[in-house]
Amino acid sequence: METKTNSIGIDKKPKDTTVIVAMSGGVDSSTVAGMMKKEGYKVIGVTLKLYDDTKETAHSKQCCAGQDIMDAKRVANKLNIDHKILYYQNKFKEGVIDNFVESYLKGETPVPCIQCNKTVKFNDLFNESKNLKADALITGHYVKSVTEKNITNMYRAIDENRDQSYFLFNTTREQLNYLRFPLGGLLKSETRKIAQDLDLNVADKPDSQDICFVPNGDYVSVIKKLRPESLQKGNIKNTDGKILGVHDGIINFTIGQRRGIKIAAKDPLYVIDINPEKNEIIVGSREDLIKKEITLKDINLLCDEKVFDKEIFVKVRSTGKLIKSKLKLDNDKGKLRLLDEEYGISPGQACVFYTKDKVGDKVLGGGWIAKD
């Protein structure tokens, strides 16, 4: 008798399917664990301890803090599922925090959530799930996934305000075929309703808002603590090379920034370039921030290169719109021509590729924005 494919696209009955649910202690991952348990899957919850708590992180709206680990444990007990805590502080510092600091020192604007997904979550946790003989690794990301014939493709979530596909472009094909994202077809309000119906104590828990290891969004204090020598005064220049003022350290600035320049001018000034070699900030007009071409590096593809013979859509920041573009590939590098101009594109950010099909906005991969 032929086995019917279950709700996560695997040819097994739920009771014969073991799934690892990455549980951060928030409402999304807790709801996913509850959904899987209710459907009859064999669920193992895994929570990552990524950094040591401080007085600041204990009271901030962040994920993976000490209180979150306790919340995840309570949810697991409520659902009567196995629960493990993996202590990844060293892996997280090496793979995410150190990269974050170095990126700012190079005049870039990093996206640590992507690095976290690439290293700790979808590498180390992926391997741990395989070691536990699980059939799939399931997360609470708002990404739509469609699995057919053991091949999983990733799409933007139904709730575009919650869509997290931008942060997952670096997922490999092997990882994507193993991952599942049950919340991609739900609105956040629907997720909370499911959590309430499951009587989970985190149903009304506020969303995490900050970068997990950056208390209250103050990233400069984190860099200052780890690299105190990074706050060196330098010149602020205009596009003609004229010195307009002095800054207290390039880590205080990102491309497109207007506040904090502290220079009186007839028209508003924006940071248009950061030169770490000379320790200089270059300022100019908003028009100077316009970009039509982008250089990309470390490109990760989830599709055949032939797709790029045609126009695609890209996002150049997590909250940005889809921009029609044309990509020219050169191994893991590329030149992207934007067919609609965009302002304030910063090196260190990700550029994620999409195409539209009958299911929705399909993720094709992406790359890191490099200095021209």
Query: Whole-angstrom Cα distance, residue 98 to residue 94?
Result: 6
In terms of DSSP bridges, do strands 151-156 and 143-148 run parallel, antiparallel, or are they unpaired?
A: antiparallel
How many helices and strands, by DSSP H and E, does the chain display?
10, 17
Q: Buried b / exposed e across 26-46, counting CB within 10 Å, b at 16+?
A: bbbbbbbbbbbbebebbbbbb
Please compute Rg for the chain using Cα positions.
22
> Concatenated DSSP letters for 41-95?
-EEEEEEEE-S---HHHHTSS-SS-HHHHHHHHHHHHHHT-EEEEEE-HHHHIII
Nearest to 101 by CA among 219, 209, 271: 219
Only one residue has tokens 């979530």, namely 157
Residue written as token pair 């899987």: 36
As annotated, the active-site residues are 116, 212
Tokens describing residue 115: 């690095």
CA dihedral sign, ordered 205, 206, 212, 214: negative
Which tokens sit at 348? 């260190």
